[in-house]
Structure 1
Amino acid sequence: MGEELMQIMQHIHNGHHFLLSGGAGSGKTYTLVQVIKEIIKENPTSLIACITYTNAAVREIESRVNHENLRVSTIHDFLWECIGSFQKELRDSLIELINEREISINANVNLPINSDFFIKEGEFLHIQYKEYLRVSDGIISHDEVLRVANYMFTHYKKLRKIVKGTYPFILIDEYQDTSPLVIKILLETFDEDDSRSCHIGFFGDVMQAIYDDGIGDINTYKYPNGKVYEVKKEQNRRSPQTVIDLANKIRLDDLVQRPSKDKTAPNMMKDGQVKIGRAIFIYSRTESTTIYDIRKYLHDNESWNFDDSQTTKELNLTHRLIAGKAGFNTLMEIHAGDCILKYRNKVDNFIKHNLVNTDDKTFGEILTFLNNTFTDERSRKSFSQTSAMENFIKNNQALYDKVLNYPYNKFVKMYVSSDQLIDDKKQEEDETSKTGSRRSELIRHLMKIERCIYLYSSGRVEDFLKSTEKKIETITDKRSLHEAIDLLSNVEDKNIGEIIDLADKLDIVKKDDTLERYAERCPYVYERVLTVPYKEVQHLYKYLEGMTPFSTQHKTKGTEFDNVLVILDNGKWNNYNFEKLFTSSKLQDSVVQRTRKIFYVCCTRSKENLAVYYHKPSDEVLTKAKEWFGTDCVIKIDKS
């Protein structure tokens, strides 16, 4: 029995909750599996709930431990299993949350609602959990399950007792990405009564907490101030020594990794010594240096092969440069570079500074007022169109004429960003929706359509039936389904709007409450997206599901490659700052922490060689780079 496993089992024997903290490549999942096996061995009749982050992880753990008393699921499935049979309490809780505006509902429903809201044709609706939201039909989705579960566990002591009695062991994988609501349920709400004991175990790494809506850490719950006892797993089985040394310098906590003592570990050589590997910092001072120059340098001097995407990976922080190559450039332009919306923002900024009354006025009326009122050159420059805006509007005059008639106060609330198109939380092909996802309701809807096509086409009929509203009961239904999928798959030159209508008409993916609310809340973006060729959605889906050679730094989490090139460019994303990564001493600064964590995740993907590229670094950045990488490994690659 390994050292960490012995410590964990001792905590379980003592009635403690525990936390296994392990850095990248430490074998946390292996230890999780060993803990499960040991619990089963000691408690053969007890049920164990193992909660993981993705359905792919569910399948991996189930394949390693095949036992009738083990229940492996995602957090949403686990919570629904706990609350789904309590229909009366579910309805009551939903009514409370809707009236408290914690759960959204169609704008044409007057609040507050009462207990007969869920009565249809004289009977109570059976509340269901699906991948779409239609509250008036008793259907809730991912986000609502978390809120309802939190409410029910807080207000129904009986429910807490039942779940704790059913599952004396609950293990949480990738705890750092788990919603704070879930942690609150497990470590606070569950402990409000001591009638039944329940052992809670957490597995993860605080330095890999790269999603803002996750708990990040559970330091406030750790012993001696809290009731969670930490066990550290310090070995690294993946990375060569140079990468381990670099990663230890980047970490923000006191966990220091060392090479594995296991001579069969992937990062060990045949003689039992750890691989040395190579970690270099390359930079350029000139504007003319391109990504192709960087690749050529690594190919010529380090023998990297960028044609092999399975062994060599280039990691970028943003998706904008990737969009054109991957084939969804128009969708990205709408979400990240729409010039009409940029012009609106410029006008709105001027209005806020000059206290202009915008009540009951259209966007066009506001522009007329500004032009008639603020005639000095300085003011006009502050709200006038740039040349790029002028060119865009000239080429999209009908679009611009339409927004001139929008009520101004509604138009300024139409928020859009690249986050609504790309959700980096998504890791696996079968994760169409996550709680806290920043994707817009429209993009989620489009991903559901593509996922249904993918599931059916790949023969995963059971998963397909969970994702669609199409009823399959007869041979005729099966034939109809096959024809429907063929129609959706062969998009030819159809646009997005046509495919949404077709999927709805064929009952593959119905238009739901969330889509209708988005169309009402953000008509400009909605109508623009509907005109885009649907082929861009197909390309976007393939990119998001890892079916292309391109990747971002967020999506690489959990993967590993022989050679890793990290491009340090924040792409004008204010959440990250690579200058501060190397120069700031304020380690508690949220931007610094966020940047260090994503940098840590990127560097530790390497199994052999790591290269970090920085364009035009300051002398201060280079000083820190030499400290981290070594003077000989900081290399200028400008053409002589």
Structure 2
Amino acid sequence: MTEPIENPALVAAREAQRKINEALDAGRSFRLEAGAGAGKTYSLVAALKRLIAERGPALVQAGQKVACITYTEVARNEIAQEIEDHPAILVDTIHGFSWAFLRQFQKALRDLVAEMDDRKEKVEEGGGVGTKPVDYDLGFFGVDTDRITLSHDDIPEMMAKLLCKEKFRRILSQQFPVIFVDEYQDTHRQFMEAVTDNFLRPATGPLVGLFGDHWQTIYRSEYELAEYPIEEIAKGSNFRSVPAVVDVLNKLRPELHQAVHDPDAKGEARFFHTNAYKGERTNDTHSKEDLLPDLARSTREALMLRLKAEGWDMSKTKVLMLTHNVLAAEQGYPTIAEVFKGRTDLFTKKEDPAIKFFAEVVEPMCAAYGASRYGDMFRAFGSGPAMTKHEDKADWRRDLDALQKLRTEGTIGQVIDHLKATKRPSPPDRLLRRDEELRALNDNPIPEDASALQRYSKLRNIPYREVIEVVKFIEKQTSFATQHSVKGAEFENVLVVLGGGWNHYNWPQLLELVKTKALNSKNTKGFYRARNLFYVSISRPMTRLAVLATQTMPDTALATVKHLFGEDNVEELAVAT
């Protein structure tokens, strides 16, 4: 009887975990480079569980913790749940972790505030620094007679500055003998530079474990791998995709070869282009040689119908467009997308308190009420109905009917004001505080650094019906997504649309440079930016991948495409006009 062949991805994953364990045992800092689908979070959690098992009681007894710094609240909650909130581990975002450390050192914080040249005028207007307590709860910088409040961006920057001082490095090292950084490639640049310069390069201080993938850097402006003078551990596994998709990834990125979890799994990876079309194409600043918008849309729709006829389940298919502006116009939330321009993660990941409240409470309540599912409605509300008489029921119906009308006819601000008055449901404290801050300004200009308040002020004037559409997008009730918004996600099938529309991403040039490698001072940053987003996009599918290029592809770019996908999987579409 022959022995079953072991899962190749599992073999590679075990090897990476062995190297992590060796580094932990030897007290060596390391960087785990885990490509798309490799199971980075699994490795991070496994390392935390090993530390808990071997050092947990000793850490707790010594009043120490392992710090695990995450990029988002969602990741924080996921990891904390996996380790059952063990007392030897502190899992928090960079802002939560940094502020918990910084708040102990009020005099040092006051000194840093006094050194801020760009804030001198505000500090003087507020009566100077003095001995005022420094706080962080509003998200924007301010000085008044009682206290100083820091902005969101101040926190990691101040943390970085304190790490340059030996006293604070010593205290941090004593409190946190091990620090893990999840998604290191997207973590605040100055913070990572301070960690590198003060801990990694001199090989002192805490053991630092970096977990991430520099090819998935899509949120920061530095898209190349920073210099980290520590051991690199490559995790050459792919537990997500079929061999047809992983083959494309391995050809694009041969230096991190991934082993598949099922060598016999069936699937496909195809590339469609529109070079055959010789009619008018775009020729503006941000879009060259693309199909005109209506034709691009009809070509995409025709391809989707064809894929469906060929066996694609479109209910399990995600269509990845480039920007929220393109997508939002089609989906019906263009103004919200504009308000969050540059910080789309705030609404796609529900980190903005208003969007989170609408998506998790208001919309589920209204959907349940509209379908007469009152049990579901009160579950979304958070408690059972306090109804002691017939009038109570009538009051509920009156308030919810008014809410349903405002959802389709009113603004976001009108909906919030209605809910503040009725408390059915009541807005959360974070949202109420933001509303109070705006009202306290009495129509005076919003401070320039109060970006969250500026966004909230603009949101209030937007028709609420845009929220209805954006919640459908956030809660995956639509088949469309942006390429930026799906990092970390996976889908059965994926159609990636490569077109013009944004000067930051030049797909024909990217595919040419993959082959020619003719990088120079002008195109290097754009190359890495586009390469990373392309890699993130094509690594999402489990079974089927199709890429549609609506821009004209030069011969060199097509040569790259044929190398990546295989000549038999590249097709020139006949564009119907």
What's the TM-score, normalizing by structure 1? 0.67
Matched, 1:48 2:60: no
Instruction: Select which of 546, 554, 557 maps to 1:618.
Output: 554
Q: Which residue of 2 aligns with 1:313?
A: 318
Name the CA shift for 1:507/1:177 in 2 (closer, same or farther; >3 Å): closer
Report the CA distance between 1:532 and its aligned residue. 4.2
Secondary structure, in 3 states, of the residue corresponding to 1:635? strand
Task: Provide the C-alpha distance between the structure 2 equivalents of 1:575 and 1:515, rounded to a whole number of angstroms.
Answer: 32
Q: Which residue of 1 aligns with 2:29?
A: 17
Task: Provide the C-alpha distance between the structure 1 equivalents of 2:167 and 2:449, rounded to a whole number of angstroms.
Answer: 41
Q: Which residue of 1 aligns with 2:349?
A: 429
Whichever residue aligns with residue 322 of structure 2, its letter is L
Matched, 1:210 2:218: yes
Task: Provide the C-alpha distance between the structure 2 equivalents of 1:95 and 1:203, rounded to a whole number of angstroms.
Answer: 35
* Mapping of residues 540-579 of structure 1, within 5 Å: 540=470, 543=473, 546=476, 548-571=478-501, 573-579=502-508
Name the CA shift for 1:14/1:95 in 2 (closer, same or farther; >3 Å): same
* Mapping of residues 286-365 of structure 1, within 5 Å: 286=277, 288=295, 290-301=299-310, 303-306=311-314, 308=315, 311-330=316-335, 335=338
Name the CA shift for 1:134/1:519 in 2 (closer, same or farther; >3 Å): closer
Asked if the contact 2:141/2:449 (under 8 Å) is kept, the reply is no
Matched, 1:80 2:80: no
Secondary structure, in 3 states, of the residue corresponding to 1:626? helix
* Mapping of residues 160-239 of structure 1, within 5 Å: 160-190=169-199, 197-213=205-221, 216-218=224-226, 220-221=227-228, 226=229, 228-239=230-241
Secondary structure, in 3 states, of the residue corresponding to 1:171? strand
Task: Provide the C-alpha distance between the structure 1 equivalents of 2:100 and 2:560, rounded to a whole number of angstroms.
Answer: 50
**Percentage identity across paired residues of the two chains:** 30
Task: Provide the C-alpha distance between the structure 2 equivalents of 1:542 and 1:94, rounded to a whole number of angstroms.
Answer: 42
Matched, 1:158 2:167: yes
Task: Provide the C-alpha distance between the structure 2 equivalents of 1:331 and 1:62, rounded to a whole number of angstroms.
Answer: 31
Name the CA shift for 1:61/1:281 in 2 (closer, same or farther; >3 Å): same
Name the CA shift for 1:215/1:127 in 2 (closer, same or farther; >3 Å): farther
Name the CA shift for 1:322/1:508 in 2 (closer, same or farther; >3 Å): same
Q: Which runs of 5+ in 1 are unaligned?
A: 261-267, 336-417, 433-447, 461-474
Q: Which residue of 1 aligns with 2:540?
A: 605
Task: Provide the C-alpha distance between the structure 2 equivalents of 1:21 and 1:520, rounded to a whole number of angstroms.
Answer: 36
* Mapping of residues 254-265 of structure 1, within 5 Å: 254-260=255-261
- Encode CA deviations 1:268-291: one digit per residue, 9 max, x unaligned: 2xxxx4424211111233365522
Q: Which runs of 5+ in 2 are unaligned?
A: 1-12, 60-64, 278-290, 366-385, 387-391, 422-431
Task: Provide the C-alpha distance between the structure 2 equivalents of 1:526 and 1:87, rounded to a whole number of angstroms.
Answer: 30
Asked if the contact 2:161/2:194 (under 8 Å) is kept, the reply is no
Secondary structure, in 3 states, of the residue corresponding to 2:330? helix
Report the CA distance between 1:232 and its aligned residue. 1.0
Name the CA shift for 1:27/1:91 in 2 (closer, same or farther; >3 Å): same
- Encode CA deviations 1:181-203: one digit per residue, 9 max, x unaligned: 12123222347998x73100001
Task: Provide the C-alpha distance between the structure 2 equivalents of 1:146 and 1:502, rounded to a whole number of angstroms.
Answer: 37
Matched, 1:33 2:45: yes
Asked if the contact 2:319/2:496 (under 8 Å) is kept, the reply is yes
Q: Which residue of 1 aligns with 2:286?
A: none
Q: Which residue of 1 aligns with 2:155?
A: 145
Secondary structure, in 3 states, of the residue corresponding to 2:211? strand
Asked if the contact 1:206/1:216 (under 8 Å) is kept, the reply is yes
Q: How many residues are paired up?
A: 482
Task: Provide the C-alpha distance between the structure 2 equivalents of 1:213 and 1:452, rounded to a whole number of angstroms.
Answer: 30
Name the CA shift for 1:135/1:143 in 2 (closer, same or farther; >3 Å): farther
Report the CA distance between 1:535 and its aligned residue. 3.2
Task: Provide the C-alpha distance between the structure 2 equivalents of 1:628 and 1:229, rounded to a whole number of angstroms.
Answer: 30
Report the CA distance between 1:248 and its aligned residue. 1.6
Whichever residue aligns with residue 557 of structure 1, its letter is K
Secondary structure, in 3 states, of the residue corresponding to 2:549? strand
Secondary structure, in 3 states, of the residue corresponding to 1:255? coil
Task: Provide the C-alpha distance between the structure 2 equivalents of 1:451 and 1:489, rounded to a whole number of angstroms.
Answer: 18
* Mapping of residues 357-506 of structure 1, within 5 Å: 420-421=340-341, 423-426=343-346, 429-432=349-352, 448-454=353-359, 457=362, 491-492=406-407, 493-495=409-411
Task: Provide the C-alpha distance between the structure 1 equivalents of 2:450 and 2:200, rounded to a whole number of angstroms.
Answer: 43
Secondary structure, in 3 states, of the residue corresponding to 1:517? coil
Name the CA shift for 1:161/1:459 in 2 (closer, same or farther; >3 Å): farther
Secondary structure, in 3 states, of the residue corresponding to 2:49? helix
Task: Provide the C-alpha distance between the structure 2 equivalents of 1:516 and 1:52, rounded to a whole number of angstroms.
Answer: 30
Asked if the contact 2:114/2:120 (under 8 Å) is kept, the reply is no
Report the CA distance between 1:143 and its aligned residue. 1.1
Matched, 1:250 2:252: yes
Q: Which residue of 2 aligns with 1:282?
A: 272
Q: Which residue of 2 aligns with 1:509?
A: 435
Task: Provide the C-alpha distance between the structure 1 equivalents of 2:248 and 2:360, rounded to a whole number of angstroms.
Answer: 41
Name the CA shift for 1:528/1:231 in 2 (closer, same or farther; >3 Å): closer
Asked if the contact 2:322/2:484 (under 8 Å) is kept, the reply is yes
- Encode CA deviations 1:54-87: one digit per residue, 9 max, x unaligned: 1111121122212221111111111011111222
Asked if the contact 1:575/1:591 (under 8 Å) is kept, the reply is yes
Report the CA distance between 1:638 and its aligned residue. 1.2
What's the TM-score, normalizing by structure 2? 0.73
Name the CA shift for 1:193/1:96 in 2 (closer, same or farther; >3 Å): farther
Asked if the contact 1:453/1:489 (under 8 Å) is kept, the reply is no
Matched, 1:583 2:509: no
Name the CA shift for 1:115/1:527 in 2 (closer, same or farther; >3 Å): closer
Task: Provide the C-alpha distance between the structure 1 equivalents of 2:573 and 2:120, rounded to a whole number of angstroms.
Answer: 54
- Encode CA deviations 1:477-500: one digit per residue, 9 max, x unaligned: xx9xx99x9898874533456678
Name the CA shift for 1:546/1:93 in 2 (closer, same or farther; >3 Å): farther
Task: Provide the C-alpha distance between the structure 2 equivalents of 1:449 and 1:526, rounded to a whole number of angstroms.
Answer: 8
Name the CA shift for 1:459/1:240 in 2 (closer, same or farther; >3 Å): closer
Asked if the contact 2:317/2:479 (under 8 Å) is kept, the reply is no
Q: Which residue of 2 aligns with 1:349?
A: none
Matched, 1:64 2:82: yes
- Encode CA deviations 1:410-435: one digit per residue, 9 max, x unaligned: xxxxxxxx8x5363445863423xxx
Whichever residue aligns with residue 567 of structure 2, its letter is T
Secondary structure, in 3 states, of the residue corresponding to 1:20? strand
Task: Provide the C-alpha distance between the structure 2 equivalents of 1:142 and 1:249, rounded to a whole number of angstroms.
Answer: 40
Task: Provide the C-alpha distance between the structure 1 equivalents of 2:457 and 2:175, rounded to a whole number of angstroms.
Answer: 49
Asked if the contact 1:126/1:138 (under 8 Å) is kept, the reply is yes
Asked if the contact 1:282/1:611 (under 8 Å) is kept, the reply is yes
Task: Provide the C-alpha distance between the structure 2 equivalents of 1:69 and 1:459, rounded to a whole number of angstroms.
Answer: 37
Matched, 1:92 2:120: no
